[in-house]
Amino acid sequence: MAAPKLPPLPAEKGVWDEHVIDRRRFLEAALGVLAGIGGLLVAVPGARFLIGNSLEPSATKWVELGKIADLPVAAVTQVSYSTRATDAWREVNQRGTVYVSSADGGATFTVLDGTCTHLGCIVQWNEGDSRFVCPCHSGHFTREGEVIDGPPPHRLRQLAVKVQDGALFAEI
Amino acid sequence: MNRIFQWFDERTGLSGPVRDFLNYPVPKYVHRNFLYTLGGLTLISFLIQVVTGILMAFYYDPSTEGAYNSVDYISYQLPLGWLIRGVHHYASSAMVILVSLHMLRTYYFSAYKKPRELNWLTGVLLFFLVLSFGFTGYLLPWDQKGYWATKVGTEIAGSVPLIGSFLMHLMRGGDMLGQATLTRFYAGHILLLPASVAVLIVAHIFQMRFHGMAPAITKKAQAQSKIFVPFFPDWAITDTLCGLGLLALLVYMTWANHAPLEFPADPTSNNYVPRPEWYFLFYFQLLKYFPGALEPVATILIPLFIFGSMVLLPFVDLSEERRPWRKPVTTLVSIFYIIVIVVFTILAMAAYA
């Protein structure tokens, strides 16, 4: 780094501080600051743009699963639903699988989201063993959705339900 | 001809750098060993992907409603569509195999040692980018395989402690797999990843040229280390021949077995068992051994450990020794990993057979 070109001070007075900034050093620092500002001006809005709306939870809605009279009260019933939903900029049929059961002969219903809490595969109801089994990594759940065996970290998600006009609805 | 050449050279000044590039001296021991073609072959497989990928982009529809049909159209109705998509499909596997073998060659020849640490690091990054290509690529047909493998893959990211949920949402572009996910994976697959890989390949080759080939490890090769052949045409023709062989193999594989396309993605199916591509199978198998709260060990700790040890390798192994048979620790560690990967892959294949 070139030393700043300043006339020497009288010897009895002292010397210039060796860190006195010269033009080149100032320009280098200024360039660094400007480049940094430019980089941030691109990176920050760019990152916000990329994150977009991805962190917003999707809106829940009540989906009809069927007429109460048609649902078997003793068994666990697999229900595949389809509902109109907004997927980013597209209107789509959002589809999914839930399991409906009743422990009190049809007075109240339990609706479990069929999505395995391990890595998201859809579990199957095994009537013989009376348990849900995930085909991916052999996670096992009770009829109520509690983990019995395998890698799932927690129970199956239980959905809020309501009965309206003789039909069962779940909040999806 | 000469005058045209001169006209261009006066205006571009390219003849000097091009001549230097073509006349680059390649040690004879390298020219005689086919293991040194693995890097060039990886590059050729990347170029095959670029060409076949650009061709498919002329027809592919990156929407959840149109993606499957467009891939079906490419595969079964377009003239030579089966060939272009098939070669792209098999070349992705070839790229994973070639980049892995190239890395193993580098590893066993201790070519990561000083002063080539940065070359090893760009190579490690390229390796993971190749895997990212695979991961983002197989969602694009929006078939059962792509949909469920991506669902599982993004859930794996979701199990990372603290930032998992953020990562998963960022990858999916929302709560669920859908249009935003497909567009993200598409943009990553055809723009971000190729651009990143291209920049890193240039850096990788530039560093390799700057340092030259790592010293030979056998006495026979060392005896030839002061004899050179020019990159062009001697070495270039070796690469070209190997590249043509690779292309012929890919075309044959495509002809014998067209690239698979499963049923369209169905989020309600409860009997579909997601299977990732074969090169991720060992990892899928590993996940089975870490239940419940231990899950992050398999989903984040082990991958981070492997990535970290690859990054740190040239800074930890500082010995002068380059012969693998005199370096039992690094050699045995690599053999252990290879055995684990092979055994887990076989176990996973058996489980899904």
In a domain, B306, yes or no: no
User: Can you tell me the distance from the alpha carbon of A92 to that of B339, in angstroms, rounded to the nearest whole number?
Assistant: 46
Tens digit of pLDDT at every position of chain B (353 positions): 889 999 999 999 999 999 999 999 999 888 878 899 999 999 999 999 999 999 999 999 999 999 999 999 999 999 999 999 999 999 999 999 999 999 999 999 999 999 999 999 999 999 999 999 999 999 999 999 999 999 999 998 998 889 999 999 999 999 999 999 999 999 999 999 999 999 999 999 999 999 998 988 889 888 888 899 999 999 999 999 999 999 999 999 999 999 999 999 999 888 888 888 899 999 988 888 887 788 889 888 999 999 999 999 999 999 989 999 999 999 999 999 999 999 999 999 998 77
Question: pLDDT (tens digit, 9 = 90+) per residue, B148-168?
Answer: 999 999 998 998 889 999 999
> pLDDT grade, residue A3 (50/70/90)?
low
**Inter-chain residue contact B293 with A153, CB threshold 8 Å:** yes
User: Can you tell me the distance from the alpha carbon of B299 to that of B283, in angstroms, rounded to the nearest whole number?
Assistant: 9
In a domain, B74, yes or no: yes
pLDDT of residue B32: 79
8-state DSSP, B190:
I
User: What is the pLDDT of chain A when averaged over all its residues?
Assistant: 90
In a domain, B311, yes or no: no
In a domain, B187, yes or no: yes
Query: Which segments within chain A are labelled E, that is strand?
Result: 62-67, 77-87, 90-101, 110-113, 124-126, 131-133, 140-141, 147-149, 158-159, 161-164, 167-171
CB-nearest partner of B270 from A94, A124, A152: A124
In a domain, B316, yes or no: no
Is the pLDDT at A4 greater than 60, yes or no? no
B268 contacts in A (CB within 8 Å)? Answer: 80, 95-97, 122
In a domain, B301, yes or no: no
Chain pair A-B, CB pairs under 8 angstroms: 104
- Contacts of A19-26 with C-beta under 8 Å, sequence gap 24+, read A25/A1
Instruction: Please enumerate in sequence order all residues whose Cβ is within 8 A of that of B263, keeping only pairs 6 or more positions apart, or say none.
Output: B143, B144
Question: pLDDT (tens digit, 9 = 90+) per residue, B60-95?
Answer: 999 999 999 999 999 999 999 999 999 999 999 999
In a domain, B14, yes or no: no
Average pLDDT over residues A145-162: 93
Instruction: Please choose, from the candidates A134, A171, A172, A170, the residue with its C-alpha nearest in 3D space to the C-alpha of residue A153.
Output: A134
User: The tokens 């860190």 sit on which residue?
Assistant: A19
B175 contacts in A (CB within 8 Å)? Answer: 57-58
User: Can you tell me the distance from the alpha carbon of B25 to that of B20, in angstroms, rounded to the nearest whole number?
Assistant: 9
Instruction: Note whether B145 contacts A: Cβ–Cβ < 8 A.
Output: no
Q: Can you name the residues that pair with A101 across neighbouring β-strands?
A: A110
Is the pLDDT at A51 greater than 60, yes or no? yes
Domain that holds residue B144: 25-264
Number of domains in chain B: 1
pLDDT of residue A23: 85
In a domain, B167, yes or no: yes
Question: pLDDT (tens digit, 9 = 90+) per residue, A89-141?
Answer: 999 998 999 999 998 888 899 999 999 998 889 999 999 999 999 988 889 99
Q: What is the CATH number of the domain that holds B83?
A: 1.20.810.10
Label the pairing between strands B228-230 and B25-27: antiparallel
Nearest C-alpha in A relative to B183:
A88
